Structure 1
C-alpha cells in the first residue's frame, strides 16, 4: 500500500506519522511519500518521520519529493493538507476583515473565501495529476475550507472524501467525560464543515442511548468553557455547537477580542519556527508535546480510519466525513457537501439518515450553503462581481458596504494567487 501526503512539509505531519506508526495494523503502509514544494521544511519533517517509524519498528519506507507527479505515482490514496500562501496569507485572512468590522478567520467569512479562492485551483490541478497517475486512487481532503474544496473535487469527478478533526475531537472529549472507550461514542453530528452541531451523543452505536442530556447536566460548564461560550446558550439550545459557531453566535464580541491580540497565524508561525528547530534535532524520534498546541488533534487517527475504510482494509464502518448531500438534508441540493455520519467503504461515503432539523439549524445551514455555491463559482471562474456576491451572501457579512470594502481588500491582498486579478 502506498500513500502520498501533499503538504507533507507541514508541521502537522509528525502527528500524522505517529498515527500511521501506532495504527499500522489498521493501515499497513508499505510506502509513504511526503510531497511539498518547500524542500527545506520537507527535509526536516521527513527526517523526523523516518525516526518515528524506526522508533516504533514500522517497516514502511518514507520518501520525500518536491515533485507532485513523482510523489503521487501509483499511490492508493493521497491526503491533501496544503496551505496556499502559508501562514503569511493566513495572517492577512485573519486581519484585513477586521478593518471592516467583520470576523477575521481562515475558514469562514471573508478570510475563508480568500483561502478558498487561493486553494481550489491548486487542489484541482493536484487532483488531475492524481487521476492521471492512478484513476482508482482516493483523495482525502483535509485542506480548508474542507466543504468547498471537497465539493470542487467531487464536481470535477474525483474520488474524494473530506475530513475534519472537529467530530473526532468531540468524540474523544465526551468519552473522557463519560469514562468510556471512544469507540463506544457515536455522535449525531450534523451540518456543514465548521458549521456543525452535536444533536445527540449515543453509546454503543448510531442507535444507542442518547446521553447528551446527562453530559450537559453533569459537565456543561467544562463543555462551555472549552467552546468559549456561555453555559446558558448551550443549555438553552440543548445541543453542543462546534466552536466555530462562536463566530456566528457572538460575532461582535469575537471581533472586539480579535482586535486586541496578535492573529492566530502569528502565534502559529512562531510555534512552527520552534517546531522546525526541534524536528532538526537528530535525536528526536517522537512527536514533541508542543505539537499538541499547533492544532489538528486526533487528525492522524481520523485519517487512518478513513483511509483504511476507503481502501477496504477495515476501519470503522461509520465515520463523520464531508460528502455529497444526496437528499440527506432535504432542504439542500443533492450536490451540496455536508458533514455528517456516513457509512464508509471502498465505494466511498453514504450519509446516514438525519432527523428533521430545527429551523434554527436548518436555516443557517441553508444560508451558508448558498454562500458556498457562490464561493465555489468565484474560485472556479474568478471575477470581482462573483467575489462580491459571495461576500454579500455570507451571514457574517451580509451588508453592501461591508461586502464592497471586503472585496477590494481580498483582491488587493491575494493578487499573486488569483490568475484573473
Structure 2
C-alpha cells in the first residue's frame, strides 16, 4: 500500500490535536494513509474523545485520512513507518505526586528536573524499552519520534539500552526560541543561524546573522526588554544579564531552575501552598480542553491548548517526520547521539543539538567546547542522567541514591532520602523493577506525608 502509516502511543493526550494540525499542514509532502492512536485502558475515554476530534479535523481538510483508535499497541505498531510517543505513565496524578512530595519537604519536584523528573524517568524508561522491543518485531524500519518527558533521558535509554538508533528526541523549547528571537532584531526566522549544545531542558545556543556575525549578545540585550518566548509552564524570573554576557550564550528557559534556583523554588512552594502545583493547574486545563474536544462542531485546534505548555509541538514532531520521509534536510534541534558535536561529553551519549534531518536521520551541527562553567554544569547533568537511566533499568537502590545525590536541584542528605523513599511508595504500582526496595520501605513503615499525594495512591 502507498502512503504513510503513523502510530501515536499516548494518543489520548490533549496534545493530539496539535499533532493532527501539523500533519494536515504538511500532507502534500507527507502523504499519510492512516493514523493509529493507541492508549491504555485508563485512558480509553480520553482516547475516544480526542480520536473523534482528530477525525473531524481531517474530515474538515481536503485529505482522506482515517483515524484508528485502539488499546492494542501491537496492532497500532504493525508495519508503521513512524511511531510517535507522548505518554505519561501514571497519568497526571503521577505528576501531582512527583511535584507535591518533594514540595512537602521544601524541594523542587518539577516533572523533568529534580526529584520528580527522576521518578518520571524511573516509570517511563522500562515502558519505552518495551515499545522498542515491539518495534523490532512489528516495524523494524520505522523511526521512533519521542516527545515523552524526560525526553533526553528517554532517548538516551532507547539508544543505550534499547540498542535502537532510529530514534529522534524532540522538545518544543528550542522551537519557541527560534520563532521569537529573530523578531527581536527585526529579522525573519530564516535570517539567523542557530547552534545549540547541551541536553534536553539544559541547553544553550548561539546565534549569527547570514553574514556570519555573532548576534548572540544583541539578542540577550533584547530579551531583557521584550517577550522572551518562555513556555507557559516556566515562571518568568529574569536571568542575570551579566552572567549571560559572560557566557556569550543564551540558556534555555529551564536554566532558571539552576541559575535562579532560590527564586524558582520559592515560587514553586508558594503555588504548592496556594493554587496548587503546576500538575494540579494542568489537570484543570486538561479538563477544560476535553470538554471543548467533546463539541461535535469543533474541527480545529483550540487556542486554549497553547496554555498547556506544549506550544509548537507539531512544528517539531511533524516537521521531523516530514523531513525524514522526504529527505528534506531541514534544520531542527533534536536529541540524538553526540558523535563529537559536543566534545565535552562522550561521543556515544545523547545530546540536544541543531541537526539536519533527512532520510538517514540526524546529522548534528558541531558546537565546539563550552565555557568553563557551562562545561561543568553539563557534565554533572549528563552524569545524573546516566545514573537515573541505569537505576530505571536495573532497579538498583544505590544507583538511584547516587542520581539523587548528584542532581543539583536535590539537596543531598537525609531529607533527600525521605523524599526518594516516599516517591517509591507513592509510585509503587509503576515501579516493578524496584519491588525489593519498596517492600523493604513498607516494612520500615515509610508513608507519604503530603495529604493530596497520599489520597492519589
- Interval containing the TM-score (normalised by the shorter chain): over 0.9
Q: Per-residue deviation at 1:271?
A: 0.8
- CA distance, structure 2, for counterparts of residue 102 and residue 223 of structure 1: 29
Cα distance between partner residues in 2 of 1:78 and 1:181: 32
Aligned residue number for residue 383 of structure 1: 396
The residue number in structure 1 matching 2:444 is: none
Of residues 199, 208, 224, the one that matches 1:202 is: 208
Deviation, 1:384, is: 2.2
Deviation at 1:322, TM superposition (A): 0.3
Q: Does 1:229 align with 2:238?
A: yes
Instruction: Give the C-alpha shift of residue 256 in structure 1.
Output: 1.6
Deviations 1:334-373, CA, capped at 9 Å, x for gaps: 2221000122222222322112210111110000111111
Query: TM-score if structure 1 supplies the norm length?
Result: 0.94
Q: Is the 8 A contact 2:195 2:365 kept in 1?
A: no
What's 1:372 paired with? 385
Does residue 1:345 correspond to 2:358, yes or no? yes
Q: How far off is 1:203 after superposition?
A: 3.6
Match of 1:19 in 2: 22
> Counterpart of 1:126?
131
| Distance of 1:183 and 1:53 partners within structure 2 | 30
For structure 1, list consecutive stretches of 5 or more residues without a partner in the other structure. none
Map residues 278-293 of structure 1 onto 2, 5 A cutoff: 278-293=292-307
Structure 1 residues 104 and 177 mapped into 2: Cα distance closer, same or farther (>3 Å)? same
Which residue number corresponds to residue 256 of structure 1?
Answer: 266
Separation in structure 2 between the aligned mates of residue 378 and residue 196 of structure 1, nearest angstrom: 24
Q: Tell me how far 1:387 sits from its aligned partner.
A: 1.4
Contact 1:164 1:299 in 2 (8 A): yes
Q: Measure how far apart 1:216 and its partner are.
A: 2.6
Q: Does 1:215 align with 2:219?
A: yes
Q: Distance in 2 between matches of 1:95 and 1:362?
A: 31
Alignment correspondent of 1:245: 255
Assess, with a 3 A threshold, how the Cα gap between structure 1 residues 235 and 331 changes in structure 2: closer, same or farther: closer
Identify the range of structure 1 (209-218 vs 79-88) with the bigger mean alpha-carbon deviation. 209-218
1:8 counterpart residue number: 11
> Is residue 337 of structure 2 the alignment partner of residue 324 of structure 1?
yes
Query: Which runs of structure 2 are paired with 1:21-420 in the superposition (5 Å)?
Result: 21-37=24-40, 38-155=43-160, 156-158=162-164, 159-198=166-205, 200-204=206-210, 208-222=212-226, 226=230, 227-230=236-239, 232=241, 233-261=243-271, 262-311=276-325, 313-419=326-432, 420=434
Aligned partners of 1:174, 1:58: CA distance in 2, in Å? Answer: 34
The question of whether the paired residues in 2 share the 8 Å contact of 1:26 and 1:315 is answered with no
- The alignment's C-alpha RMSD in Å is 1.8
- Cα distance change, pair 178–21 in 1 and its aligned pair in 2 (3 A): farther
The offset of 1:55, in angstroms, is 1.6
- The CA deviation string for residues 3-54 of structure 1, in whole angstroms up to 9 with x for no partner, is 1111110001101111111121232212111111122111111111111112
- SS in structure 2 of the partner of residue 94 of structure 1: helix
Q: How far 1:282 moved relative to its partner?
A: 0.4
* 8 Å CA contact 1:103, 1:251 repeated in 2: no
CA distance in 1: counterparts of 2:196 and 2:187, whole angstroms: 19
Q: CA deviation at 1:177?
A: 2.6
Q: C-alpha separation between the residues in 2 aligned to 1:65 and 1:314? A: 30
Q: Is the 8 A contact 1:378 1:387 kept in 2?
A: yes
* Residues 369-392 of structure 1: CA deviation (Å, up to 9, x unaligned): 111111011000103222111101
> Residue deviations 1:57-86, cap 9 Å, x none?
222222111110001111101000100011
Deviates more, 1:401-410 or 1:141-150: 401-410
Distance 2:212 2:408 in 1: 35
CA deviation after TM superposition for structure 1 residue 215, in Å: 2.1
How far did 1:259 drift? 1.4
